[in-house]
Amino acid sequence: MSRTVLVTGGTSGIGRAVAARFAADQAEVFITGRHPDTVEQAAKELGVHGVACDATDPVRVAALADRFPTLDVLVNAAGGLPPSAPGAAVPELAAVLAEWQANLEQNLLSAVLTTTALRARLAAGSSIISIGSIGAERRGGSYGAAKAALAAWNASLSSELGPQGITSNVIAAGYVTGTNFFQGQLADDRHRALVEETHNKRPGTVEDIAETVRFLASLGARHITGQTLHVNGGAFTTR
């Protein structure tokens, strides 16, 4: 029987590659994004279902959840860097608050709201995979702090859902090309520095992450839960 898969932020980059991966496996795949036009276009190109939904909007997220009597795989890929306000040497506290709130909404609360809305509909043996970041480990600022909180939340979520046979994991991605994450603003020297940090001297690809998502949602990964799995070519190592 084909599995039902929801990928938030499935219109571009990592989420889009994840949706394509599951579609190739004949799953029934749904993608979301904030903009109806890009959702419709991406869904058509991928041959999947598209639903416009801002993952930070509780009303829209509740309506999204109502579409699913049951769900087998939830991939929280929506996230990224909110537009930043013009920098000042000493930013106004109001600007600091706005930046932190935007990052927490975009990279933590998006996953918390979507998962909360859908958790009662997750079938036994289902999987939740949320896309975290290497930025949680170092130099991540408000974005990294939000991704670190995502990993902390994942640990408690795993303990709550584990008794029902549901796994919950975070993939902490390193630098990945083929996305809109840097909004076309990544300088060549920054790209070279990020590649140089890796042990295999290459950036990550969206397929690297999509294949890891696929593994975490597979039968072979049923005893892996509550974890943050680092996929970064060795740019950050664990022990």
Kindly list the catalytic residues: 143
Applying CB under 6 A, does 29 fall inside the site for ligand NAP?
no
Site for ligand NAP in 42-71 (CB under 6 A): 54-56
Q: Which stretch binds ligand NAP (CB under 6 A): 34-42, 67-75, 92-100, 213-221?
A: 34-42
Q: Answer yes or no whether residue 34 interacts with ligand NAP by CB under 6 A.
A: yes
Rounded Cα distance, 109 and 103, in Å:
9
Residue 33 binds ligand NAP, judged by CB under 6 A: yes
Interface with ligand NAP: number of residues (CB under 6 A):
31
**What type of residue is 170?**
V
Which stretches within 25-140 are classed as H helix? 36-46, 58-65, 93-104, 110-118
Q: Per rule CB under 6 A, is residue 233 in the interface with ligand NAP?
A: no
Q: Which residue do the tokens 């994840």 mark?
A: 18
Q: What is the DSSP string of 49-64?
A: EEEE--TT-HHHHHHH
Among 4, 115, 167, 179, binds ligand NAP (CB under 6 A): 179
Candidate residues 4, 103, 110, 158; the one interacting with ligand NAP per rule CB under 6 A: 110
Contact between 14 and 179 under an 8 Å Cβ cutoff? The reply is yes
Q: To the nearest 10°, the Cα dihedral for 170, 174, 39, 210?
A: -70
Footprint on this chain of ligand NAP (rule: CB under 6 A) = 8-15, 32-35, 38, 54-56, 77-80, 106-107, 110, 131, 133, 173, 175-176, 179-181
